[in-house]
Every structure is written in C-alpha cells, then in structure tokens.
Structure 1
Amino acid sequence: RLQNTNKVMTGDARTGRVRTILTECDEAWIDVSNSLKWLDDDRFFTWLSERDGWRHLYLVSRTGREIKLLTPGQFDVISVQSIDEEGGWVYYIASPDNPTQRYLFRSPLDGSGKVEQVGPADQKGTHKYQMSPDSKWAFHTYSSFDTPPIITLVSLPEHKTKKVLAENAELRSELSKLKKKATEFFRIDIGDGVLLDAWCMKPPDFNHKKQYPLFFYVYGEPADQTVLDKWGGEKYLWHLMLAQQGYLVMSVDNRGTPAPRSRAWRKCIYRRIGILASADQAAATRAIIKSRSYVDPAGIGIWGWSGGGSMSLNAIFRYPELYHTAMAVVFISNQRFYDTIYQERYMGLPDDNEDGYKNGSPITFAHQLKGNLLLVHGTGDDNCHYQSCEALVNELIKHNKHFTMMSYPNRTHSIKEGENTKRHLYELLTRYLKENLPPGPRRRRYVH
C-alpha cells in the first residue's frame, strides 16, 4: 500500500526465474507512470527518476549496473515525447526557466549531456506534440493563457511549419471583440524563501485607486496545476466574464502541485495534504492583500472543483477571518472517504498518520465556518462520492452553521450529464457569487 518503491524485473519464460535489475525508492511516493523503452537490441532501457532531486531521464543497462543520465541540469523532464534511436536523440517536454510554460527539448542518447530547445522560443506559452515513430514529424498544438490553440504539422528537428491544421479563427475573432486586459503572471513571496506562481485577471476598466473583491480559483493538490500559461477553455471564459463584471480573479499554485520545480517542491506535501497547501494559499492571500492596495481585504472569495473544492472548504473553515465566501464543487470532506490509490500515495497509511488524515480533512474544521458557503455535488459522483457531501452537511447542521447546497441528480464528477446542466451550474455559481460577494469597484474602505 505504501507507494514508495518501484522495481524493474526480468523473467525467464522457460525457467520461471525472476531477477530484479533496478529498484527505485523514495521517502515520499513514486509516480506509477514511467517512460520505459528498450533500446540497442534490448541491452538498455530508458527510465525516469528523481534520484538527483530533479525528474530526469536515464539510460539503464539490462544488468542494472550501468545508469547514465541523459538530461542533466536543474530542471524537470515533464514528459518524454519520442525516442529517435536511429538519429540518437530523445525528445521531451520541459520548461527550465518558467514552470507555468511547456516547451520541446532534446538530448543525445549517448549521454554527452547536451540539451537543446527544439520548439520556438518566441512563442511563450504551452506547446504539445504528437510525434511520429521516427521523430521527424509532429502535430504541434500551441496556446497561451489568452490565446486559443493553433494546431500545425511541423517537421523536426528544425520545427518548420508544413501545414496549419486548425487556427480557431472564428473563436479568435470573437475573443478579439471582448473587453479584457492581458492576464498578469507573477510570483508571490510568502516568506522563508518560498515563491509561489500566480496569475491575475483584472477588470477591463481597472482603476488602481479603487478596491475590488478578490476571487481565487484553486486546486492545490499533487494531481494538477492551475497556474499554467495555456488556454483554459470554459473556465477561462467564465473567469473573464467575472473580471469584466468587477472582480479580480486570481490563482496560486502552492507547494505540492506537480509543477516542474524539483522533487522537493512536489513532495514536501507528503503526509500533509490539505494542511500545507491551505496554509500556503492563506499566506499568499495575506501577501497579496498587503502588497496590492486595490484588493478589498474584506472581500476575499474562493472556489474550486474536486481537490479544489476540498481546498476551498479548508480555506474558509481553517481561515475564517480571511475568506468571505467559498464555493466548493464535488469535494472530499473527509480524506478517509477517498480511494486508497490516491490518498495513501500522498498521505501514507491512515493508522500511521491519524493526525494528518484528521487535520487535512475539511470536516474537522467545519465548526469554524463564519462566511458564505455553497456546496455543489452530483449524486452519481463515482470519484468524490456523495457520501462525502452528506457527511459534511450533517457536521454543519450539528454546529448550526448555515449554508447553501445544490445536488445534481445522477450527475458524475464532471456534472455535465443531462439537458442544460453546464449552463445551470455556471449560472448558479455566478448568481451565488454576485449575491454574496458583490463585484467592484468600490471606494477604498481600507488602507493596507
């Protein structure tokens, strides 16, 4: 059940003999996925490891005695895209200088250590690839936070565009008509040398001499980042609409998110899911209030989906003096209700970490609720089971805490089944936010 050891073994089909040739251990956890590919007539295989503090690709001999680093440097290999054995290159996604972006790189298979950026350096944002088996062609998808995807066919390694497959021209045209300010990406210093990545969407007619309510979009767990310089689809459009109506919309990636910022960054959250992350989010909120005088400190809202729903609950329960309104969609209120594959990977075993499971669960602090709370859940959710929602409802009732709740019959974790469901959901969220945390701007009531 502890997911901290991974072994590569070879087996002889004739004799049944099995031999371990590589053992990978970690004090926290080891990710299940790995880019293992046999090379050189099956004498070597590729292996992703964080053994030097960064996620790198290694070449390992069949005996396990030779281990050669292919991607040296203080950066993380995010994913392996293709291996060109004939040409002697491995292609991978990384972003050494900016953890919110994604680019294509390559390194030689001979272990000489040369790292080359293949993708265009002048296209800031996120680059995705579907590469041909010979690594000479790729479908290339490029987007940024405010720019919808463009899909092209490119030749490699020169990365020359051969054909534009999809421009999203109509969507781009419609977006160009909308009133909006460019999204700001920045870093927040929360003390002790910790810098958190963030983005901010401001109202089109933003006036720094006035104050605005601040509305956070969160996730904060090891499964995803929210601070990414890529097209966000429906959530981006909804957040843009809120900014147009007078909200500052922000998102912050706390420690423990899967950002390419080293093993230490990702795994410091081990046994502390819900604890360290919510503390980082609260520290970031305080730092933003202190450094940005146009933020109304009495008007802080937060929302999230799944792990972000749990984070929203932890925020308003654990820090009731800081958060005014929270909207939690399909959440886990008690970590013991969630599946063991996920929860035990990041929290260890319940019997060995009772305090961690208790203090990381929003339900433990539900009695501290002071602000406005909206709970949204699908009764057919097979990921975050509806049981979790009902347990929290009972706890809030027990402590005479008043809240608003919406259950979507038979909807799953995505709350998209049934006629008109998505529209109903986002209109519900919009109405609740505007009624309980009215948009700005407003005259300054507070001096920071």
Structure 2
Amino acid sequence: MHQSIRARKWLFVIVTLFVPVALFSQGAVKWTKSGNAYYRFEEGELNLYTLPQQTKTVLLSKKQLTPQGKTTPLNSRNFSFSADEKKVLLFTNTKKVWRLQTRGDYWVFDTNTGSLTQVGKNRPAASLMFAKFSPDGSKVAYVSEYNLYVEDLASGNSTQLTLDGNRKFINGTFDWVYEEEFFCRDGFRWSPDSKQIAYWQIDARKTKDYLMVNNTDSIYPFAVPVEYPIAGEPPSPFKIGVVDIATTKTQWMDIPTDPVLQSYLPRMEWAGNSNELIVQHINRLQNQSDLLLCNTQTGASQVIYTEKDSAWIDILPLWDNDYIWGGWDWISSGKEFIWASEKDGWRHLYRITRDGKKEVRITNGNYDVMEIIAIDEKNGYVYFMASPTNATQKYLYRTKLNGKGAAERISPAGQEGTHEYLVSPTATYARHMFSNYYTAYTDEWISLPDHKGVNGENKVNDKIAQAEKPAGFEFFKIKTEEGVEMDGWMVKPKNFDSNKKYPVVFYVYTEPWGQNVKDQFGIADNFLYRGDMANDGYIYISIDNRGTPVPKGRNWRKVIYRNIGQVNIRDQALAAKEVIKWPFVDTSRIAVWGWSGGGSATLNLMFQYPDIYKTGISVAAVGSIFTYDNIYQERYMGLPQQNREDYVKGSPVTHAKNLKGNLLYIHGSGDDNVHFQNAELLVNELIKYNKQFQFMSYPNRTHSISEGQGTFEHLSTLYTNYLKEHCAPGGR
C-alpha cells in the first residue's frame, strides 16, 4: 500500500522482453519497515539483508518452509508480512488468470510460534486470490471462486463474507476488461481498524460473452466464454460495498452512475481512517474524473474533486505500474493527498486538501512526471522519474513537497540512459537499475539522496566504462513535411557501405500503449528474427509517432484522440517517406511489422500507403476496431454510436482493398484479447478483392502465441523466411 513513502498491460510482446520485471516485481524484494534492510527469497529460503553491509540472515529456512508430512519446502512466488513483521504470508502453487499468476494457495508462517499453516485449506486447491493480513495481523482475507472469505488465524475458523459470487457476478475481483485496461485485479481492502473490508462487486450478467472455440484439447470442440464488452457496449455495472467482519452485513455505497451509458470505478481505498472511502469515478467517455468521499456507515458519497479533459483522462496505473496493486498517497496526517493531472499541458503532481478545496502544484516546468518513486514527507520531498530534455531516457528527480524550488536530478551525470529505482520506506536506500543501448542491465544498492553505492561500490559506472557501443546503432530525429519531429533508432548493416542500397524493416506499435524508442539495453533486438539482421544486411528502424506515450506533454499524446488509424499512420508513413530519401535505402525493399496494436498499424500502413511499404508481417492485429473492448477503444476513439465514421476510417479492414505488396498475417485462435474474429474479418475482406496474401493461424494460442511445443521456433522461422523471401537482405 502507498503510504507517506512508496517504493513501484501486457499488450505487446516486445516491451516485456526488455524490461527486467523480476528485479522489481511484487515478489522480488520487500523492504523492512525500518528502511535499512530488505527481505528476499533465494533458493527456497527467505533471507534478510541489512544495509549498508549487506549482512545476510536466514529468516526462514527450507526446513521451516516445509509443511508437516512433506519433504520439500514451499515454492513461494510472493510473500508479505503482517504489520508487526512477525507473520509471513506465502503465495504458492500459483495459476495464471489471464495475464498474471494471481490464483493459488497461501500459507502463514508465525515467527513467534514457528508454525506453518495453510490458509483456506478447505477451499479448492489453487483457488485463493489476493490474500492479505488484516492490519492487526489476526486475520487473513481472500477471494475464492468470486466470493470473499476471512479466516481467524488463532482459531483457524473461516467465514464466508459474500454468498452470491459466480463468473458473471464477481465479488472482490474483476471481469476481463477491468483487469486488462484498468489493471484492476485485487478488488478488496481491509479497513485500518481490521473490522471491515471494502470491496468491488462487478455485475457482468448482461455483458455478452465472446465465444472462443477450443479445437485442440478434446475430440469434440468446446466453447470458451469470456465476458467481453466491445466498443459501443455498456460496461458491467459496479458496486462498492463495505462488509462488517463480525456481522457479515454489507453497506453499499451510494455512487451515482449514468443509467444508460454506465460508468467506471477504477480506484478505491480507505481514506486514511475506518469511516470513509475515497474512490475515483470516471464517466463512460473517460473524459471526466470525480473523486468522492464515501461514508461507510451510511453509504452517502460526496464529490470533492473533478477534472475534465477534451480527450481522455489517464488513471494513475496506466503510467505508474506500482498502482496496479492499489494505494493512495496521503500526507499531512490524512489532511491532503498527492494527485497527478495533465491540465496545464504536462503531467504534474499536486497536493490536494481532503475536501478538495485547495490544491498546490508540486512539480513545475515543461516536463512530464513519468512515475512517482517515493514520498519522503519527513524531509519534505517527492521523488519521481522524468526526462525533460530527452524523451528516450528516464532519470530520478526530487522536488520539495511545498512546490517551491526547482526539481533536482538525483541520477548521476554520466549515466545517460534509463534508470529504475526501488526506494526504502525511509528514502535512505534504494535498489537502482540502469541500462542504455550499449550497457547491459546492471543493478546496485545505493544510499539516497547522494546516490552513492553502498560499501563504496560503483557497479553502474564500472559497467558503463567497460561497455562497448555497438557499431551501426544510432538514435535520430526525423521531421516530416508537416513539421512533426519524431524520435527514432536505427541499426545499420555490418560493414555498411554508403554507396550501396539496403532494405529497411520498420518495427511499429504507434498507439497510446507503446513507446518503442527508448535508450535501454536490447531495445533494437528483433526477437522474432532467427539470426542477426545487421549481419544479414538489413537496416532496422523504429520511430515513435504522435499519440505514443512518450514524455513530450499532453498534446503530443492526445492528438490521436478519435484518430487512431489515421494520425499515427500518417506520421509513420511521412517519416518513412523521409527515410526512403536517404541515398543508401532501397525503395523497392521496404518492410514493416508489428504485434497487436503494431499489427494493426502494419495493416494500415500496407493498405493506406501501399506505394511505400512493399512487405508487411502483422501479428495478432485488430482488423476492425469495432471488435475491441470498450474501455480501451472508447477511451481513445469516443463512442461508436456518436462518431462511427472515425471507427470506420481507423479500421484496417476498411482499406484492405488497397493491398499491393506482400502480406503475412498471423493470429492465435485462442486470443482472448484481440479475438480471432479479427483475422477472419480481414481474410474475408482480402478475399473479396482477390488480394493474395499468406495467413497463419496458431490453434488455441493466446495473444502472446507462446503456448505449445515448438510454437516460438515455428513462428520465428515463419517470420524470418517470409521476410528474407519478400524483402531480401543485403546491399546492392
């Protein structure tokens, strides 16, 4: 939870390959409350490391983590502590729910008694979700099969708090679209006094199911239903309830909504006490955000703060990954909270009074806050990530919580690239990770605010000094005939000869979820290509158009509103038009490829600008944006009932008749995100106009096309062979 100090969508595959999630994931490292030590699971043991000496103490041994009657210790994927740090909650036997491993078994180790006991042992195996200690450490609450439970740790007695949960009536967690687009997974919160639990209830009974057909896991095919509201369909209605642990009675909060269009409630927390909740309520168009205080005894709610935008409003978890697991930043003993807004044209932080009547902007200047790293109220600072002069990089800054004075860069000079931090609860130590395009990911433990390596270590600087810059890689800026300047990276062929002409392969994403041009290690690797593109003689390029989530201000990001499939595609094409003017580019060998939103962009570029792009490889693309989910598509495109023509213009199927070049289209039939229907709609349209192309369906694979033996090898072989055949490598 994000208190006065805080330490930090899978949509397309490429980014996840380059972000070392394991170093900063929920289960990797836990700080002690004192802030001078951390816990970490290693080789089946839970260890405690004390800084700055890095003194190691085994907190829980393999023997202690072995259940009675078993011979092997628990394989813990994640862990958490009670408030007094005397009990440890261990998450094991995990199962994936859509994107993440959020279902499994939980065990409690009590360091006072040395006992190891399973929570919810009468529930089905691997059915518990989001188990967490009560603030007083006496109970554990969890979700199992869409209902809430609480277990008293002293007696072992379990109480079911909700009785009506099922796949379509969801208590304490969320439906598919809330999880995918709002990152809402953990749907309940303990009250500070440990006597109540606030929770979401999602009513998906009227939300239509997408039926995915599984043809591979039995002789008779069977349908796999997913509650999935497409653009134009109303959201599943929500309710916020507060259940009393002693009586199991729920008090529902009175939060108004549009009876026809409905609305969203993506954030809810206790408001610093056990009598009020604070919630973020967003209208259907997602261009008005209301913060409400709710009285948990009466259910009455009051709007304390409203923000509107002519395009859309990004909720905090969309740009700060830490908030996926909840949290609200209260300061001044609960009298104020920290909030972010783009209302002045840049994403800045504000401190807002509890009644919403007074606000002070904390960060100032022509830059975007990229992420909140820590709030050090004791010393009067907020730490955050920003990059005021280079949108491809990321640095740690701090500024005064009172909003006075200039922001101070904490990341050292000479470490130009991308930084990440996991800061201790006292903001005195941090785990620091760095990379740039030529320096591999390197992590070190540092003190703050001086940014010195503990024990005199200097790992990042040493790694930078030893690293060699790869030949042929460069960042560049390109300006189109319309005056739009964009960042790009390029990898030139080995033994590049400027007197020869080379093929160009563009890697694209282009939509509001993907920034491709980052100064980080491995950014220009093509994981699908079998071999070395530079060695084979390709120029490999990626460019970030307007609408991508780069730190260049609100207008850069939001010019794409109601223009997906148009503004982003035109920016890319006009940038390519400049690239093909370079004397060493072979205009007859121009290829483009992408996955998911990048697959959609590939199709639109091939169809709308067929004279530029000769070969395209599109993976898991949205062929018709009418088919995609309502939260994502309506956020960026408005309601199709109100501006249908924008949806038509932005959909690749609309332009499929213009195909001239070589197209390879790839899709998994078990894709729950971009449904296989998109492939068949596209194929039908290409058939209609006698457009010849190659199509590969991967049976029962999801959006990542990663399941099944031999899948990746087959996919990468297909990709590489097609590219080499239709966009031959090498200089001429």
Q: TM-score, normalised by structure 1?
A: 0.93
1:124 to 416, 431, 435: 416
Corresponding residue number in structure 1 for 2:644: 354
**Aligned AA (2:431):** F
**1:351 partner SS:** coil
Corresponding residue number in structure 1 for 2:670: 380
User: Aligned partners of 2:442 and 2:388: how far apart in 1?
Assistant: 23
Corresponding residue number in structure 2 for 1:74: 366
Change (3 A) 1:166 1:408: farther
User: Aligned partners of 2:634 and 2:331: how far apart in 1?
Assistant: 34
**Aligned AA (1:229):** D
Deviation at 1:304, TM superposition (A): 0.4
Corresponding residue number in structure 2 for 1:18: 301
1:143 to 422, 425, 435: 435
1:275 and 2:558 are equivalent in the alignment: no
114-123 or 359-368: bigger deviation: 114-123
User: Aligned partners of 2:431 and 2:575: how far apart in 1?
Assistant: 38
> Aligned-pair RMSD on alpha carbons?
2.2
Equivalent pair of 2:528/2:719 in contact (CA under 8 Å): no
Equivalent pair of 1:380/1:409 in contact (CA under 8 Å): yes
User: Aligned partners of 1:229 and 1:3: how far apart in 2?
Assistant: 32
**Aligned AA (1:415):** I
User: Aligned partners of 1:323 and 1:236: how far apart in 2?
Assistant: 19
Change (3 A) 1:229 1:400: same
1:30 and 2:313 are equivalent in the alignment: yes
1:315 and 2:598 are equivalent in the alignment: no
Deviation at 1:131, TM superposition (A): 1.4
Deviation at 1:286, TM superposition (A): 0.6
179-188 or 121-130: bigger deviation: 179-188
**2:646 partner SS:** helix
**Aligned AA (2:569):** S
Corresponding residue number in structure 2 for 1:162: 454
Corresponding residue number in structure 2 for 1:335: 625
Corresponding residue number in structure 1 for 2:715: 425
**Residue by residue, what CA displacement relative to the aligned partner does 1:154-180 show, whole Å, maximum 9, x if unpaired?**
11111112277999x99x99x97xx95
**1:186 partner SS:** strand
Deviation at 1:192, TM superposition (A): 3.7
Corresponding residue number in structure 2 for 1:261: 552
User: Aligned partners of 1:140 and 1:244: how far apart in 2?
Assistant: 34
Deviation at 1:40, TM superposition (A): 0.5
1:416 and 2:699 are equivalent in the alignment: no
Greater Rg, structure 1 or structure 2?
2
User: Aligned partners of 2:459 and 2:660: how far apart in 1?
Assistant: 49
User: Aligned partners of 1:74 and 1:359: how far apart in 2?
Assistant: 34
**Residue by residue, what CA displacement relative to the aligned partner does 1:356-405 show, whole Å, maximum 9, x if unpaired?**
10010000010110000000111111111111011101111111111111
1:3 and 2:294 are equivalent in the alignment: no
**Aligned AA (1:59):** R
Corresponding residue number in structure 2 for 1:405: 695
User: Aligned partners of 1:250 and 1:37: how far apart in 2?
Assistant: 40
User: Aligned partners of 2:524 and 2:537: how far apart in 1?
Assistant: 19
Corresponding residue number in structure 2 for 1:345: 635
Deviation at 1:231, TM superposition (A): 2.2
User: Aligned partners of 2:300 and 2:667: how far apart in 1?
Assistant: 51
User: Aligned partners of 2:411 and 2:640: how far apart in 1?
Assistant: 45
Equivalent pair of 1:180/1:203 in contact (CA under 8 Å): no
Deviation at 1:423, TM superposition (A): 2.2
Corresponding residue number in structure 1 for 2:532: 241
User: Aligned partners of 2:527 and 2:444: how far apart in 1?
Assistant: 24
Deviation at 1:25, TM superposition (A): 0.8
269-278 or 232-241: bigger deviation: 232-241
Deviation at 1:12, TM superposition (A): 2.4
**Aligned AA (2:540):** V
User: Aligned partners of 1:371 and 1:340: how far apart in 2?
Assistant: 32
Deviation at 1:28, TM superposition (A): 0.4
User: Aligned partners of 2:519 and 2:472: how far apart in 1?
Assistant: 12
Deviation at 1:17, TM superposition (A): 3.1
User: Aligned partners of 2:440 and 2:668: how far apart in 1?
Assistant: 30
Runs of 4+ in 1 over 6 A off after TM superposition: 163-167
Of Structure 1 and Structure 2, which has the larger fraction of its residues in strand?
A: 2
User: Aligned partners of 1:189 and 1:8: how far apart in 2?
Assistant: 41
Q: TM-score, normalised by structure 2?
A: 0.58
Q: How many residues align?
A: 436
Deviation at 1:146, TM superposition (A): 3.2
**Aligned AA (1:136):** T
Corresponding residue number in structure 1 for 2:685: 395
Corresponding residue number in structure 2 for 1:213: 503
Corresponding residue number in structure 1 for 2:46: none
Corresponding residue number in structure 1 for 2:36: none
User: Aligned partners of 2:305 and 2:718: how far apart in 1?
Assistant: 52
1:113 and 2:396 are equivalent in the alignment: no
Equivalent pair of 2:472/2:493 in contact (CA under 8 Å): no
User: Aligned partners of 1:131 and 1:88: how far apart in 2?
Assistant: 16
**1:71 partner SS:** coil
Unaligned runs of 5+ in 1: 443-448
1:284 and 2:575 are equivalent in the alignment: yes
Equivalent pair of 1:378/1:415 in contact (CA under 8 Å): yes
Corresponding residue number in structure 2 for 1:445: none
Change (3 A) 1:250 1:234: closer
Corresponding residue number in structure 2 for 1:250: 541
User: Aligned partners of 2:473 and 2:679: how far apart in 1?
Assistant: 34
User: Aligned partners of 1:383 and 1:395: how far apart in 2?
Assistant: 21
Change (3 A) 1:180 1:41: closer
Equivalent pair of 1:218/1:304 in contact (CA under 8 Å): yes
1:304 to 584, 589, 594: 594
User: Aligned partners of 1:331 and 1:231: how far apart in 2?
Assistant: 27
User: Aligned partners of 1:424 and 1:236: how far apart in 2?
Assistant: 16
User: Aligned partners of 2:620 and 2:694: how far apart in 1?
Assistant: 14
**2:641 partner SS:** helix
Structure number with greater CO (CA < 8 Å, separation at least 6) is 1
Change (3 A) 1:17 1:95: same
Corresponding residue number in structure 1 for 2:346: 54
Equivalent pair of 2:471/2:494 in contact (CA under 8 Å): yes
